[in-house]
């Protein structure tokens, strides 16, 4: 397989200059994430026009020029399951990938399963098979073998062909704007996750009182800073269960910290003073500034109705030839049901869902393109105007929606 190898900053600069005139750039990355604070970029594979290239970050050093290019509008950037690639772009440039067309996401908008692996997508769309011989390769190892590089390049060689097929399918269904909206939303969600304090994800913290939650927050912040400074996974610095135990004890005394089973690990002993300081800060926080347990304000939801609507959303999605996993999940359904129960206190005419002044206050299933796909049907289902029946029990999609008033008059 012919390709250009980029091994220096000068070669990268020349290559990026050559790429500027390309209207479509396909790329992928190889990275290792098991033992680092953030995934370590090990390789960038690029396909543009009739050429292939591999960029070696270990030899090039700073790969920012490439990320600046794909963060600049003016071209279509192809990738498959681009969440980690979007993270790299944001970390190197502070911006999103411009013109991103994620073939995995696009497949879900035309009725293929989502998420779908690259190999399965290539098989479904192009009738080809990708090699699988290097699925457990160590991308940090140098030099990379010919088989490793060829395997990596296969991740980009078929992206342009799949893009052409998927784009035509999406345009026929008039869903290109939906795909653009979802791509933008996904990248924005990634940015918010990168910047947010995610201490509430500490396992076991959900039922703690405010003071203990503040200890969890302070210890989480300390753990993040320590993990970033030492380039280690945060839970390798201090496990979640130890954070919870420290929070429950509510003591900044080093002796009490030392006496917790699991805190005697060699790497933690030297950190007792910093852990104690974090707890002291939490204990000194004024009551008015303590975090509170989130209040949902939701009424009791019927599990049976939730199950029914989960079936209904799958039915709606198949009728629209869309992957259900893109449209919504069980949490989205619970949010919609809770919203409907709130509206029931002052029901609008004919049982329709009332629209709030701010569209962002609507449940996710009623906003944007999701509202076009499922919002109206769900509203009619919940109001009793729409029914589901078995149309053909032998069919792949055996259920169909019917207007209750016309199908069951009287």
**Residue bearing tokens 């910093």:** 274
User: CATH code for 303-407?
Assistant: 1.10.150.80
The values of phi and psi at residue 194, to 5°, are: -65, -35
Helices assigned H by DSSP within 320-363:
324-327, 330-343
Contacts for 58 with CB less than 8 Å, ≥ 6 apart? 42, 140, 142
- Of the listed ranges 42-51, 56-65, 238-247, 299-308, the least confidently predicted one is 299-308
What are the pLDDT digits (tens) for 132-188?
777 678 899 999 999 999 999 999 999 999 999 999 999 999 999 999 999 999 999
What are the pLDDT digits (tens) for 277-336?
999 999 999 999 999 876 655 556 678 878 888 888 888 888 889 999 999 988 898 888
What are the pLDDT digits (tens) for 225-254?
999 999 999 999 999 999 999 999 999 999
Tally the residues of the chain.
410
The H or E element that residue 380 is part of is helix 376-383
User: CATH code for 199-289?
Assistant: 1.10.150.80
Which two three-digit tokens encode residue 400? 């169909």
DSSP 8-state secondary structure symbol assigned to residue 298: P
Which two three-digit tokens encode residue 17? 């200059």
CA dist., res. 133 & res. 406, Å (int): 58
CA dist., res. 243 & res. 275, Å (int): 10
Report the mean per-residue pLDDT for the chain.
90
Answer yes or no: same fold for 199-289 and 303-407.
Answer: yes
CA dist., res. 51 & res. 6, Å (int): 13
Closest CA to 336 of 369, 310, 304: 310
Instruction: Indicate if the pLDDT at residue 190 is higher than 90.
Output: yes
Q: Which fold has domain 4-195?
A: Nucleotidyltransferase; domain 5 (3.30.420)
Task: Provide the residue ranges of all domains of the chain, joining segments of one domain with +.
Answer: 4-195, 199-289, 303-407
Q: Other CB atoms closer than 10 Å to residue 224's CB: what's the count? A: 16
What DSSP string describes 206-220? TT--HHHHHHHHHHH
């Amino acid at each position: 397989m012919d390709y250009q190898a980029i091994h220096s900053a000068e070669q990268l600069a020349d290559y990026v200059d050559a790429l500027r005139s390309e209207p479509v750039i396909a790329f992928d990355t190889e990275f290792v994430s098991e033992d680092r604070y953030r995934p370590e970029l090990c390789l960038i594979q690029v396909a543009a026009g009739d050429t292939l290239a591999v960029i070696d970050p270990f030899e090039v050093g700073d790969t920012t020029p490439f990320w600046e290019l794909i963060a600049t509008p003016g071209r279509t950037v192809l990738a498959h399951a681009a969440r980690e690639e979007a993270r790299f772009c944001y970390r190197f440039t502070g911006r999103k990938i411009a013109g991103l067309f994620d073939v995995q996401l696009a497949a879900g908008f035309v009725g293929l399963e989502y998420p779908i692996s690259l190999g399965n997508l290539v098989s479904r769309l192009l009738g080809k098979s990708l090699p699988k011989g290097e699925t457990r390769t160590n991308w940090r190892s140098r030099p990379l073998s010919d088989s490793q590089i060829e395997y990596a390049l296969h991740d980009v060689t078929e992206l342009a062909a799949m893009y052409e097929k998927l784009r035509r399918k999406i345009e026929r269904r008039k869903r290109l704007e939906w795909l653009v909206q979802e791509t933008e939303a996904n990248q924005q969600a990634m940015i918010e996750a990168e910047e947010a304090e995610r201490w509430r994800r500490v396992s076991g913290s959900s039922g703690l009182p405010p003071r203990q939650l503040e200890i969890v927050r302070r210890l989480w912040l300390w753990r993040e800073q320590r993990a970033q400074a030492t380039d280690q996974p945060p839970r390798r610095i201090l496990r979640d269960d130890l954070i919870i135990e420290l929070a429950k004890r509510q003591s900044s005394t080093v002796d009490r910290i030392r006496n917790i089973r699991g805190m005697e690990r060699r790497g933690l002993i030297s950190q007792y003073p910093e852990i104690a300081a974090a707890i002291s800060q939490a204990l000194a926080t004024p009551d008015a500034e303590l975090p509170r347990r989130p209040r949902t304000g939701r009424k009791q939801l019927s599990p049976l109705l939730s199950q029914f609507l989960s079936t209904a959303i799958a039915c709606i999605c198949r009728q629209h030839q869309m992957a259900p996993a893109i449209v919504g999940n069980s949490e989205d359904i619970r949010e919609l049901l809770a919203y409907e129960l709130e509206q029931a206190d002052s029901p609008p005419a004919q049982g329709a869902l009332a629209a709030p002044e701010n569209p962002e206050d609507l449940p996710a299933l009623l906003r944007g393109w999701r509202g076009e796909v499922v919002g109206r049907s769900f509203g009619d289902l919940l109001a009793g105007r729409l029914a589901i029946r078995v149309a053909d029990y032998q069919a792949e999609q055996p259920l169909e929606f019917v207007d209750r008033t016309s199908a069951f008059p009287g």
